[in-house]
C-alpha cells in the first residue's frame, strides 16, 4: 500500500493565488524522493498539506488509508506523530538542551521525560551528536542544529519524513552529510520527501523527482529514467 497519495489536489489561498493545481502522485513505503521547482512553484504548500498546516481546496490527500480531509481537531496531533517534519530554520527551542529538544515529540505524546533518555541518546548517536546532548542549540553550528531538527523528526519513527529545504543554509559538505542521513531512513521504514530548489543536489542524489511548475506537477522522473 502507498504511504501517501495525492488525488487531483488543488490549493487556492485566501488571496486567490492557486498554489497547486490538480496534482496527483503516489509515494510508496520506503521510498525517498524530491520535490523541486522554482521559487513559488508550490513545494512548501505541497508539504504543508501533508502535515496539515494547510488544507486542499479540491481533491484528496490520503496517508495510508486515512483521508486527511477527515482528520480534524484532536486527530491532527495524532496524525502529526506519524509525519516527521524538518524545516530549513530548525525551529528548535533555544532555552532547552539538545536532548530536551529531541525528546519533545515523545513528551508531547505523553511519555515521561525520565523514560525517554535511552531513545534520545540512541537517535543523537545516529545523527552524530552523541556528545552534544547537554548543549543549548545556540552553542551548535548550523549543520549540527539541522541534525538536531532531524533527530527530533525521526525519534518517534514516523512513517513519512517531510523536509522543506533542509540543506538551504548549509555548505556542500554538510548538505552531503544531511542527505546521507536521510538516505539511511527508508531502510528503517520511514519514507522521505524533500522539497529543494537546489537542482545540482537533487541530480546528484539520483532519486525520484517530482517537478512542480506554477503549481502543476509537470514531471515525475524516476532514477531508472535518468540518462547515464
Ligand atoms: N499563506 C499564503 N497565502 C497566500 N499565498 C501564499 C501563501 N503561501 C504561499 N502562497 C503563494 O503560493 C505560491 C506557492 O508558494 P510555496 O511557498 O508553496 O512555493 P515554493 O515552491 O515552496 O517556493 P519557495 O521555493 O520560494 O519556498 C506562491 O505564489 C506563494 O506566494
Over residues 166-220, the pLDDT tens digits come to 988 778 888 888 899 899 999 988 999 999 998 889 999 999 999 999 999 999 9
Q: pLDDT (tens digit, 9 = 90+) per residue, 103-161?
A: 998 998 888 888 889 999 999 998 899 999 999 999 999 889 989 999 999 998 899 99
Kindly tell me if the per-residue pLDDT of 227 is higher than 80: no
* Band of pLDDT at residue 224, cut at 50, 70 and 90: confident
Dist CA 78 CA 190 (whole Å): 17
Dist CA 6 CA 44 (whole Å): 15
Q: Domain map of the chain by residue range?
A: 1-82+159-228, 93-157
Closest-lying ligand 1 atom to the alpha carbon of residue 195: 22
Does 168 contact ligand 1 (Cβ within 6 A)?
no
Please give the CATH superfamily to which domain 1-82+159-228 belongs.
P-loop containing nucleotide triphosphate hydrolases (3.40.50.300)
pLDDT the model gives residue 196: 94
Q: State the average pLDDT for the chain.
A: 92
Q: How many other C-beta atoms are found inside a 10 Å radius of the C-beta of residue 223?
A: 11
Q: Are 89 and 57 in contact (CB under 8 A)?
A: no
The structure's pTM equals: 0.92
Pocket test for ligand 1, best of 16, 20, 43, 197 (most atoms within 8 A of CB): 43
Dist CA 152 CA 84 (whole Å): 8
Does 55 contact ligand 1 (Cβ within 6 A)?
no
Kindly tell me if the per-residue pLDDT of 87 is higher than 80: yes
* Band of pLDDT at residue 228, cut at 50, 70 and 90: low
Q: Which of 131, 126, 101, 222 is nearest to 182 (CA)?
A: 126
Q: Name the closest-CA residue to atom 31, ligand 1.
A: 40
Q: Which of 152, 144, 184, 149 is nearest to 165 (CA)?
A: 149
Q: Name the closest-CA residue to atom 11, ligand 1.
A: 19
ipTM of the complex: 0.97
- Cα 10 to Cα 42, 45, 106, 186, 214, distances in angstroms: 10, 10, 33, 28, 12
Ligand 1 midpoint to CA 12 (Å): 10
Q: Name the closest-CA residue to atom 26, ligand 1.
A: 39
Q: Are 131 and 97 in contact (CB under 8 A)?
A: no
Element (H, E) at 96: none
* CA 110-115-121 angle, 5° bins: 115
Does 39 contact ligand 1 (Cβ within 6 A)?
yes
pLDDT the model gives residue 81: 86
pLDDT the model gives residue 188: 84
Amino acid at each position: 500500500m502507498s504511504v501517501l497519495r495525492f488525488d487531483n489536489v488543488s490549493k487556492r489561498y485566501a488571496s486567490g493565488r492557486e498554489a497547486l493545481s490538480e496534482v496527483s502522485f503516489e509515494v510508496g513505503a520506503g521510498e525517498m524522493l524530491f520535490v523541486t521547482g522554482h521559487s513559488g512553484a508550490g513545494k512548501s504548500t505541497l508539504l504543508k498539506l501533508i502535515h496539515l498546516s494547510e488544507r486542499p481546496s479540491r481533491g484528496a490527500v490520503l496517508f495510508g488509508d486515512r483521508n486527511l480531509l477527515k482528520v480534524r481537531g484532536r486527530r491532527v496531533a495524532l496524525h502529526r506523530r506519524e509525519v516527521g517534519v524538518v524545516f530549513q530554520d530548525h525551529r528548535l527551542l533555544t532555552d532547552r538542551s539538545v536532548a530536551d529538544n529531541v525528546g519533545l515529540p515523545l513528551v508531547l505524546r505523553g511519555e515521561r521525560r525520565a523514560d525517554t533518555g535511552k531513545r534520545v541518546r540512541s537517535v543523537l548517536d545516529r545523527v552524530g551528536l552523541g556528545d552534544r546532548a547537554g548543549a543549548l542549540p545556540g552553542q551548535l553550528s548550523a549543520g549540527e542544529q539541522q541534525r538536531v531538527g532531524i533527530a527530533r523528526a525521526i525519534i518517534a519513527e514516523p512513517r513519512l519524513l517531510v523536509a522543506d529545504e533542509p540543506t538551504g543554509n548549509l555548505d556542500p559538505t554538510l548538505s552531503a552529510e544531511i542527505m546521507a542521513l536521510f538516505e539511511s531512513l527508508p531502510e528503517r521504514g520511514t519514507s522521505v520527501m524533500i522539497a529543494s530548489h537546489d537542482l545540482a543536489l537533487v541530480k546528484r542524489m539520483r532519486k525520484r523527482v517530482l517537478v512542480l511548475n506554477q503549481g502543476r506537477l509537470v514531471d515525475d522522473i524516476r532514477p531508472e529514467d535518468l540518462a547515464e
